[in-house]
Structures are given as structure tokens and as C-alpha cells.
Amino acid sequence: MPVRGRVLTAGQIVVLAAVYYGSAKLGLLQQLVRGQVTPLWPPTGVALTGLLLWGLRTWPGIAIGAFLANVSLGGPAWVALPITAGNTLAPVAAYLLLQRAGFSTGLHRLGDVLSLVFLGALGSMLISATVGTSVLVLSGGLHASAFWPTWCVWWTGDAMGVLVVTPFLLTVRSARSPRGTPAARWWEAAALGLCTLGVGYLATSTTHASLLFLPFPFLIWAAFRFQLAAAAPCALAFSTLAILAAARRVGPFAHHSLAGNMVTLQAFNGTVALTALLLAAVITERNRTHDEIQRVCARLAELVAAESRP
């Protein structure tokens, strides 16, 4: 590899490690189990996005960021190392599986979304959850009876990181300001953003009734009108507000046990992410098919007109 390429790769590794570590610190602010297991683990989304954009050669950035994040919790290095290995292997496995499935980072096809859900999130994150929870039990940091509850939180937290954070980062990376966009379109986007924050806060903070169903019309609005460009940020906003409410035990999470809150929270987050991703992909495919049909019809009209000329 040329020197310039090595320098670029080294820079990407450093950036990935720094972003991984920073997102880990943010995720740990909302820990619910043993000070290091959270219902949404953003670093998995950061790690997978880094691999998808920069390639497998940047995996040391994940390992460095994961090790620093685990060591910062105060545990011994011999415990942090195997957890780091699991945190690194999971996104690497997700990347390899997605590459084998022909995954496209644009998430414009329904097949790409399904691959991200089943290969990138639900399947690959079994590695980090199993390794991490096993290490905590073997090291004495977690009682054996708490293995499965902790494993479930770890697995769903890592999976939600992929389902919520990765689409958002891929959308931000490919975001472009389209020229000639009508002012009404910008006003609609601004209204959607304000409604997302307002409705999300109302749905997750109201204690008198469970209003967790309220965000879904706005997810549908985002997906139909703006596809993934709006659906992914809306899903991230709703999930973040729900996690904050669960951590504070307010709203629909005020009068339930930890287990009950975790089930409600992860069911909500999973449904929000799947609704946003699947609907946005279906609408994008429909729009592309419609545009392709229009181009074919226009081409046929040109050919017919050319044939009818004397």
C-alpha cells in the first residue's frame, strides 16, 4: 500500500476509535444493567458504519475504541479484553455477512433493509452479547441467575444500535441539498422535525395514558414524503426520547419493573426502527420503478414519433 494510503487508513482508524469511544460514553449515560449494559448501544452502529464506508482494514479502530470504553469503567484489563474482542467481532461479522449479501449503503432496496435487520443486527450481535455476558458472569461481576436478562438487554441494545444509528449515519453521509427544491418542501421538513420532537416528548413523558402509538403516523409521513432521509432521523429521535424516559422512569415507564420497562422500550424501539426502514425502502423502490416506467414510456413515444415521420 502506498504511503498516502497508509496515512489515510491510520487516520480513519483514529477517527473510528474516537467516535466509537465518544458514542460509548453517551450510551453509558443511559445504562440500566450493571453500569455498562444499555438498551441502545450506539457504538455498534458507529462500528458497522465505519466498516461499510472505509472497509475491513479499519477494524483496529473498533478494537481500540471498545477497549478504551471498557477500561474506563474501572474493571481489570483481563475482563475488558474478551469483551473488546466480542465488541469487535460482532460488527466485523455483520460487515462480512452484508458484503456477501450484496448490501448497498444507500438502503434503497427492501433486500438491503432486510439484510441489515437479520444479518447486521439480529444475527451478528449475538456474538457480542454472548461473549460480553459470559465474561461478566465468569469474572464474578454478574450473578449467574442474571445471565439471560442481561444477555437480552445486551443483545437488543447492540441490535438497536445497528438498526437506529447505522441508517442515520449512512443517511447523513449521503445527504445532499437538492437544487431547485420548493420553499414549501423545506417548510414541510421543518414542520416534520418540530412535530417529531413534540409528539415524541408527549408520547414518552405523559403519565396519564400510554401514548407510545402516537409517533407512528409521523414515521409514515417521513417515509412517504422524504424516504430514508427523514425516516432515519425521526426513528433515532423517537428511540432516544423513549430511552431517556425509561431511564428516568417517567411517562409509560413510571410504574413498571425494570424487566417490564425493558420489554416495552425494546418493543417500541424495534417497531419504530422497522417501520421507518421498511416503509422508506418500499416507497423508494416504488418511486424508482415509477420513474423507470416514465423513462421507458417517454423513450417509446420518441421511437413511435420517429417511425411515423415521412
Q: What is the DSSP letter of 119?
A: I
Q: Give the separation between CA 153 and CA 128, rounded to whole angstroms.
A: 12
* Residue 140 confidence (pLDDT): 85
* Residue 304 confidence (pLDDT): 82
* Residue 77 confidence (pLDDT): 83
According to DSSP, the residues that pair with 37 across neighbouring strands are 33
| pLDDT tens, N- to C-terminus, the chain (310 residues) | 677 888 899 999 999 999 999 999 988 877 665 455 678 899 999 999 999 999 999 999 999 999 999 898 877 888 899 999 999 999 999 999 999 999 999 888 899 999 999 999 999 999 999 999 999 999 888 889 889 888 988 999 999 999 999 999 999 887 776 667 788 888 999 999 999 999 999 999 876 667 889 999 999 999 999 999 999 999 999 999 998 888 788 888 887 777 788 888 889 999 999 999 999 999 999 998 888 999 999 898 888 877 776 6
Hey, which CATH number is domain 1-175, 1.10.3470, 1.10.1760, 1.10.10, 3.30.43? Answer: 1.10.1760
Residue carrying the nine cell digits 417515509: 223
**For the chain, what is the largest distance between any 2 Cα atoms, rounded to a whole number of angstroms?**
89
Distances (CA, A) of 256 to 140, 248, 259: 28, 12, 8
* Residue 209 confidence (pLDDT): 62
* Residue 12 confidence (pLDDT): 94
Distances (CA, A) of 280 to 46, 56, 99, 274: 21, 28, 22, 10
Q: How many CB atoms lie within 10 A of CB 127?
A: 21
* Residue 78 confidence (pLDDT): 87
Which ranges of 141-257 would DSSP assign to H, the alpha helix? 147-160, 166-173, 183-205, 215-226, 228-248
Angle, CA 99 vertex, CA 97 and CA 100 arms, to 5°: 65
Domain boundaries, the chain: 1-175, 182-310
